């Protein structure tokens, strides 16, 4: 996935202007969407996550029956928020339960689908923000077993199926938002006066969480979301509740207030580089998390495999969401593509489950994972030249082989190793080359620009002078998240983003800059300097807006501007610098530069 694809890839709820504090206003209530970015308690109870790098997330509830439509209108974006977006009165939304009868639900089929896809644990919504419980609950009659004609407990059936198939199961529970309850967060169209949040916690949330812990066997985790106004003491009470009832049950960082056993990053967020600790990225197969009949933007099997590898190579768990429909059926597109992904994962299991992050720097041709003294090279971009440079690897190679076991010739160079590949790309979603090394792993994370491939120089990895880093997050369709690490707040001539990198041979590239710019900085002049040689160019207004008409929040508009050809005249170290020539362009947000082969 290129930076451009990353900027255009979907992700679920935060305007860019509020990104730093992860705050969103839900009907006048300040709501913390994703909690702290770093859980403080990296407990040993979560070490099994390393052996379960690929997991299934399931969003399923009354919103699945509505499929993104209410009162004759389509609500594009994430369908599980339709009650909020359409301001459906709780009394009207309750009526949806009367027709919610998912007779196509088959717990064993769902679990076998996840297992065949190479997934090792499942998280499913037990209660989303709409307040409807997808399990039998004595704490509230507003649940699938009591309020719908289905009269069954699908979570009980899933827990039994997971045990039978050897998968772990955990439950998503919305601890703060509950649009059915006056004392919870989020519903101000029915309940304009703020309620007593502690009453909601004590009267519904805590009793239902106890039911989940007591009635469904050993759980992988309770997955909390959007902590909102929850206090440190209330977060701790929920964490202690979980750990007392089931000491091995995990709590994610969206419990809020810096607590939790592991980090859940922003929706669809994949970090730029390896990240320490236990963490996960949550993603969804199309753009919505709940089922939407209008959302056919499903990621291909190759895209899923590449995103999985990116997360594992950085040390995380990749949890991919599927949204079953109101009848309890998974989308046929998901079933078809998961089958392809599963065949690839099972063929490359050692490179995924139990694998460690890459010891190398960014690789223009793909990603790397590690298991002990073995490296797995996931080659997204098979080189036309027939040679693959593995920069930064200093260990001695004892064997290099293709997926079919064919040995590859390899030559050590000062910068690393060069592998000689067949002209024909091996089959499969991603060819994986195995490198076996001798002794302790010796490698570095130096930045290399490699000929024959697109090389992305991200602002998040640049040295910034006279400007500041900024994490930009925004929605296009509602809940369709984008993420970018940028450099901004330029202070004029002399401010710059700079990259030091190495090359192994001379090469010619086109230099493209990815950026967004407000109207007032239209036609600001910029300078690109490579090894002391400079070229100036304009950056033009991209059409970004400070506030959207449809549902609020800022709307940056990233575009790619081609600066032109640059020459890396000799191998070795190089310095590339980018910055404004004057005081104009202060608000420009630069995501980075891509060097694309000229031939």
527 and 554 share one domain: yes
Q: 513: domain CATH number?
A: 2.60.120.260
pLDDT in tens, 418-472: 999 998 999 999 999 999 999 999 999 999 999 999 999 999 999 999 999 999 9
Average pLDDT over residues 315-322: 98
* 447 domain residue, yes or no: no
The last residue of a domain, from among 438, 465, 497:
438
Q: 425: domain CATH number?
A: 2.60.40.1180
How far CA 13 is from CA of 43, 60, 89, 129, in Å, comes to 28, 18, 22, 13
**Structure tokens of 573?**
């170290």
328 and 379 share one domain: no
Of 194, 216, 217, 214, the C-alpha closest to 206 is 214
Contacts of 574 (CB under 8 A, 6+ apart): 449, 500, 501, 502, 503, 530, 531, 568
pLDDT over threshold 50, residue 30? no
427 and 497 share one domain: no
- Give one word for 257, left, alpha or beta, with left for phi > 0 and alpha for psi -120 to 50: left
Separation CA 221–CA 123 (nearest Å): 8
Contacts of 240 (CB under 8 A, 6+ apart): none
32-41, 145-154, 286-295: least confidently modelled range: 32-41
The last residue of a domain, from among 438, 469, 486:
438
pLDDT over threshold 60, residue 551? yes
375 and 343 share one domain: no
Q: 253: domain CATH number?
A: 3.20.20.80
The last residue of a domain, from among 409, 438, 467:
438
Q: pTM for the whole thing?
A: 0.94
Confidence band of 20 (pLDDT split at 50, 70, 90): very low
242 and 300 share one domain: yes
How many domains does the structure of the chain reveal? Answer: 3
* 156 domain residue, yes or no: yes
167 and 313 share one domain: yes
413 and 470 share one domain: no
* 1 domain residue, yes or no: no
pLDDT in tens, 277-308: 999 999 999 999 999 999 999 999 999 999 99
Supply the range of the domain harboring residue 584: 455-597
* 448 domain residue, yes or no: no
What's the chain's average pLDDT? Answer: 93
498 and 578 share one domain: yes
Beta-ladder partners of 580: 526
Of 290, 280, 264, 241, the C-alpha closest to 128 is 290
Calculate the dihedral angle through the C-alpha atoms of 60, 65, 68, 72, rounding to the nearest 10 degrees: -170
459 vs 474, more confident: 459
pLDDT in tens, 164-217: 999 999 999 999 999 999 999 999 999 999 999 999 999 999 999 999 999 999
> 39 and 261 in contact (C-beta within 8 Å)?
yes
Average pLDDT over residues 324-344: 98
Residue 469: CB atoms within 10 Å:
14
379 and 281 share one domain: no
419 and 526 share one domain: no
* 4 domain residue, yes or no: no
Separation CA 415–CA 205 (nearest Å): 57
Strand 589-597 and strand 455-458: the pairing is antiparallel
* 199 domain residue, yes or no: yes
**Structure tokens of 342?**
């599963």
* 293 domain residue, yes or no: yes
Of 138, 65, 59, 68, the C-alpha closest to 98 is 65
Only one residue has tokens 């930009």, namely 472
């Amino acid at each position: 996935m290129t930076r451009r694809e990353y900027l255009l890839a979907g992700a679920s709820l935060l305007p860019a202007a509020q990104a730093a504090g992860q705050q969103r206003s839900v009907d006048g209530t300040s709501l913390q969407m994703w909690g702290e970015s770093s859980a403080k308690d990296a407990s040993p109870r979560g070490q099994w996550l390393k052996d379960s790098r690929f997991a299934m997330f399931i969003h399923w509830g009354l919103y699945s029956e509505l499929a993104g439509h209410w009162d004759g209108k389509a609500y594009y974006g994430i369908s599980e928020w339709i009650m909020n977006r359409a301001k459906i009165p709780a009394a009207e939304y309750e009526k949806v339960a009367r027709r919610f009868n998912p007779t196509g639900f088959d717990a064993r089929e769902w679990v076998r689908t996840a297992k065949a896809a190479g997934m090792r644990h499942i998280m499913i919504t037990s209660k989303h923000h709409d307040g409807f419980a997808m399990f039998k609950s004595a704490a509230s009659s507003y649940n699938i077993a009591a309020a719908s004609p289905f009269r069954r407990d699908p979570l009980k059936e899933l827990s039994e199926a997971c045990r039978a198939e050897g998968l772990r199961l955990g439950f998503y529970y919305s601890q703060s938002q509950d649009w059915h309850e006056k004392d919870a967060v989020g519903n101000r169209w029915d309940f304009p006066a703020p309620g007593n949040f502690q009453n909601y916690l004590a009267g519904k949330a805590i009793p239902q969480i106890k039911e989940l812990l007591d009635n469904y066997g050993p759980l992988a985790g309770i997955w909390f979301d959007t902590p909102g106004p929850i206090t440190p003491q209330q977060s701790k009470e929920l964490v202690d509740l979980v750990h007392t009832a089931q000491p091995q049950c995990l709590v994610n960082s969206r419990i809020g207030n810096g607590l939790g056993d592991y980090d859940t990053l922003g929706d669809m967020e994949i970090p730029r580089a390896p990240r320490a600790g236990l963490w996960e990225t949550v993603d969804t197969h199309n753009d919505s998390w709940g089922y939407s009949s209008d959302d056919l933007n499903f990621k291909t099997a190759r895209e899923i495999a590449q995103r999985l590898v990116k997360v594992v190579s950085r040390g995380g768990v990749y949890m991919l969401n599927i949204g079953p429909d109101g009848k309890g059926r998974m989308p046929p597109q998901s079933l078809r593509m998961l089958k392809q992904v599963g065949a690839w994962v099972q063929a490359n299991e050692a490179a995924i489950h139990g694998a460690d992050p890459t010891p190398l720097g960014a690789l223009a041709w793909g990603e790397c994972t590690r298991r002990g003294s073995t490296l797995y090279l996931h080659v997204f971009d098979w080189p036309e030249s027939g040679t693959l440079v593995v920069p930064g690897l200093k260990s001695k190679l004892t064997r290099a082989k293709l997926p079919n076991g064919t040995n590859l010739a390899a030559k050590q160079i000062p910068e690393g190793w060069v592998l000689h590949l067949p002209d024909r790309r091996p089959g499969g979603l991603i060819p994986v080359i195995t490198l076996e090394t001798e002794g302790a792993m010796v490698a570095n994370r130096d930045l290399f620009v490699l000929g024959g491939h697109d090389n992305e120089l991200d602002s998040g990895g640049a040295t910034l002078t006279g400007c500041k880093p900024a994490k930009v997050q925004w929605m296009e369709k509602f809940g369709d998240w984008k993420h970018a690490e940028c450099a901004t707040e330029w202070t004029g001539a002399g401010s710059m983003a700079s990259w030091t990198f190495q090359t192994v041979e001379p090469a010619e590239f086109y230099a493209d800059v990815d950026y967004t710019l407000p109207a007032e900085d239209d036609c600001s002049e910029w300078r690109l300097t490579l090894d002391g040689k400079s070229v100036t160019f304009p950056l033009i207004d991209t059409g970004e807006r400070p506030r959207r008409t449809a549902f609020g929040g800022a709307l940056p508009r990233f575009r790619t501007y081609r600066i032109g050809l640059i020459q890396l005249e000799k191998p070795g170290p190089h310095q590339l610098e980018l910055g404004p020539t004057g005081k104009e362009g202060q608000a420009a947000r630069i995501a980075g530069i891509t060097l694309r082969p000229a031939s």
